Amino acid sequence: MEDCLFCKIIKGEIPSKKVYEDEDVLAFYDINPAAPIHILVIPKKHIKSLADIEEDDEKLLGKIHMVINKIAEEKGFKEEGYRVIINCGKNGGQEVMHLHFHILAGKKLGEKVV
Ligand code: 5GP
Ligand code: ZN
């Protein structure tokens, strides 16, 4: 989708530090890390937010979770643990309107909301 920051990252029009890529999913380091390790995992399909997923996306969403665990294993933080966050919409604090999963790791995370 034009004018979408993350679609531009997928197309390589904006550079990113890639962590993982396949035909459906891209993962890259967040530009403004909120933890020692902060990775964003996104579908290559432009989906605006969690509120916009459709039944056809079920497999893709499952795959993203498998990719998250693969990254955790490869980057060595699977054992110590990590947090996965999806901000959705205005009240959820979503700033980039392309569905993304934040992976935070590398320290004992504080400020638990739930
Ligand atoms: P949100 O607030 O929408 O859940 O998260 C958007 C995330 O995208 C933020 O953590 C922000 O730091 C990150 N971000 C914004 N612009 C860029 C960029 O150009 N490159 C990368 N790698 N991350 C970005
Ligand atoms: Zn997009």
Closest CA to 100 of 85, 111, 114: 85
pLDDT at residue 16 greater than cutoff 80:
yes
* Distance in Å, CA 110 to ligand 2 centroid: 30
User: Distance from the CA of 6 to the center of ligand 1, in angstroms?
Assistant: 9
Rg for the chain, CA atoms, rounded:
14
Spacing, Cα 95 to ligand 2 middle (Å): 12
Q: Whose Cα sits closest to atom 15 in ligand 1?
A: 31
Give the type of residue at 36: P
Q: Which atom of ligand 1 is nearest to the CA of 94?
A: 3
For the chain, the domains span 5-102
SS3 56: helix
Pocket test of ligand 1: the residue of 17, 30, 102, 104 to mutate, having most ligand atoms within 8 Å of its CB, is 30
For residue 112, pLDDT beyond 80 = no
pLDDT in tens, 32-89: 999 999 999 999 999 999 999 999 999 999 999 999 999 999 999 999 999 999 999 9
Instruction: Indicate the pTM of the whole model.
Output: 0.97
Q: Which of 73, 4, 1 is nearest to 39 (CA)?
A: 73
CATH 3.40.630.30 fits 5-102, yes or no: no
